[in-house]
Every structure is written in C-alpha cells, then in structure tokens.
C-alpha cells in the first residue's frame, strides 16, 4: 500500500496533467515512492501502476529505462560518480579508487552496514565542475578531491 504521504504527493503531481491522463505522472510517482522506500521493488511498481490505472508493464518500462530508478536495494546513501570523459580527464578514476578503498565496496555494491552504495554514473551535464558526484540523485558535489570526498562521507555518517 502506498503511504498517505506518498499518495498526497502523487496527487499533487497529477494536478499538472489532464485528469484522463494519469499515466503522465508515472515518472514523478516512481520517484516519490523510491524516495520513500529507498528503492523500487516489483511490488512498488505494481502499486504505482495500479494507483495510476496503467498497465504494470508500462510502469516497468519507465522504471527500467531511467538509471536513476533503483530496482534493487541501495544503501541509505547512493553515491554516484561520473566516469565520463570530462570527469575522467579531471581525475575521477582517483576519486573512484579512493572511495572504493575507503568504503570497501565496488560499483553496485552496498557496504555491510547498509549505509553506502557506489554507482558508476554517466555525464551529469555539469562538466565545468568536473569531477562530479551525486548523492541520492539530488545532491551534487563539484571539483572533487580525495579530501573533499572524505569530508562529504564523514558528513553523511
């Protein structure tokens, strides 16, 4: 069951679209449920599809198309590091190996305390600030150095 908070938020998103096109809110609805539950299980996708009155498979298509939707559990903090060309030229490899050593996990793995998950990201459209990383899809950090990354991680603990 979707929580009352989630349905309130989804209902607000629905006001942005014509009443007979509830499916239009699927991306927002999936995002809201993911924020609340941490990741999107098949059951969560089903609930969203049912709430919006659309075929489950159509919601699944959307959830699998965009890589900001997580279809398996991620830690409390999902750290996504861009490894595309601009960031790579500015030293993202170093940031990646530093983080992997520090957290003791590789890409797509979760730390044993369930707190952190590392993801390899694609271009975040902000190459002027390379190297870049995202925390939980919403918080962006620019001009990363190993010291700066340490500080960010400490701040999250």
Partner 1 sequence: MLNIEIDGKSIEVEHGSTIIDAADKVGIAIPRFCYHPKLSVAANCRMCLVQVEKFNKPLPACATPVADGMKIFTRSKSAIEAQQSVMEFLLINHPLDCPICDQGGECDLQDVAVAYGVSGSRYTEEKRVVFNKNIGPLVSTDMTRCIQCTRCVRFLKEVGGMQELGMIGRGEHAEITAYVDKSVNSELSGNIIDLCPVGALTSKPFRYSARSWELTRRPSIAAHDSLGSHIEVHVKDNKVMRVLPREKESINECWLSDRDRFSYEGLNSPDRLKVPMIKHNGAWVETDWKTALEFAAGQLKDITNEHGGEALGVLVSPNSTMEEGFLAKKLANGLACGNVDYRLRQTDFRLDGKRLGTPWMGCNIHEIEELDRIIVIGSNLRNEHPLLAQRFRRAVANGAELSVVSPLDNDPLMDIAHKVIVRPNDMVNVLGQILKAMSGLQRLSLCLPPSLTALLDDIKVRPNTQAIAESLAGHGKDYDLIAPKVGIFLGNMALSDPRFTEMYSMAEAIGGITGAKGGILPAAANSTGMHMMGVMPSSTGMHARAMLEIPRKAYLLLNIEPELDCQHAALAKAAMEKAECVVALTTYKSQALDNADILLPITPFTETSGTFMSMEGRVQSFAAAVRPLGESRPAWKVLRVLANTLGLAGFDFESSEQVKDAIFAGEKPSAVVWRSLNNNLRELVEIQVNIKHDGLQRIGEVPQYESDPIVRRSPPLQKTKYNIKPMARMCSRQLAALDLVEGDHVLVKQDKGSAVLTVRLDDHVAMGCVRVAAAHEATIGLGELMGDITVEKLSPQQLLDINKNITEARA
Q: Are 77 and 136 in contact (CB under 8 A)?
A: yes
Q: How far is Cα of residue 106 from the mean position of the Cα atoms in its chain?
A: 17
| CB contact set of 10 (below 8 Å; sequence gap of 6+) | 2, 25, 28, 29, 32, 48, 51, 52
Q: Is 82 annotated for ligand binding?
A: yes
What SS3 state is found at 139? Answer: strand
Q: How far apart are CA 7 and CA 75, in angstroms?
A: 24
Question: Which spans of this chain sit near partner 1 (rule: CB under 8 A)?
Answer: 42, 46, 55-58, 60-61, 64-65
- Measured from the CB of residue 89, what is the shortest distance to partner 1 in angstroms? 24
Q: Is 87 annotated for ligand binding?
A: yes
Beta carbon nearer to partner 1, 56 or 94: 56
Q: Is 117 annotated for ligand binding?
A: no
Q: Is 126 annotated for ligand binding?
A: no
Number of helices and strands (H, E) in the chain? 7, 4
- Measured from the CB of residue 153, what is the shortest distance to partner 1 in angstroms? 31
- Measured from the CB of residue 66, what is the shortest distance to partner 1 in angstroms? 9
Beta carbon nearer to partner 1, 31 or 90: 31
- Measured from the CB of residue 78, what is the shortest distance to partner 1 in angstroms? 20
- Binding residues are 82, 87, 123, 127
- Binding residues for [2Fe-2S] cluster are 82, 87, 123, 127
């Amino acid at each position: 069951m979707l929580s009352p908070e989630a349905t309130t938020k989804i209902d607000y998103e629905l006001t942005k679209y014509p009443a007979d096109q509830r499916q239009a809110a699927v991306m927002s609805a999936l995002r809201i449920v993911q924020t609340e539950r941490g990741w999107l299980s098949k059951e969560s996708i089903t609930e969203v599809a049912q709430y919006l009155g659309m075929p489950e498979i159509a919601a699944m298509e959307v959830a699998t198309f965009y890589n900001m939707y997580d279809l398996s559990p991620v830690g409390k903090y999902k750290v996504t590091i861009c490894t595309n060309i601009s960031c790579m030229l500015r030293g993202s490899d170093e940031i990646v190996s530093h983080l992997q050593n520090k957290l003791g996990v590789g890409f797509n793995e979760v730390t044993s305390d369930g707190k952190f998950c590392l993801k390899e990201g694609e271009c975040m459209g902000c190459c002027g600030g390379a190297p870049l990383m995202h925390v939980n899809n919403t918080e962006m950090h620019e001009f990363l150095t190993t010291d700066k990354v340490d500080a960010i991680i400490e701040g999250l603990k």
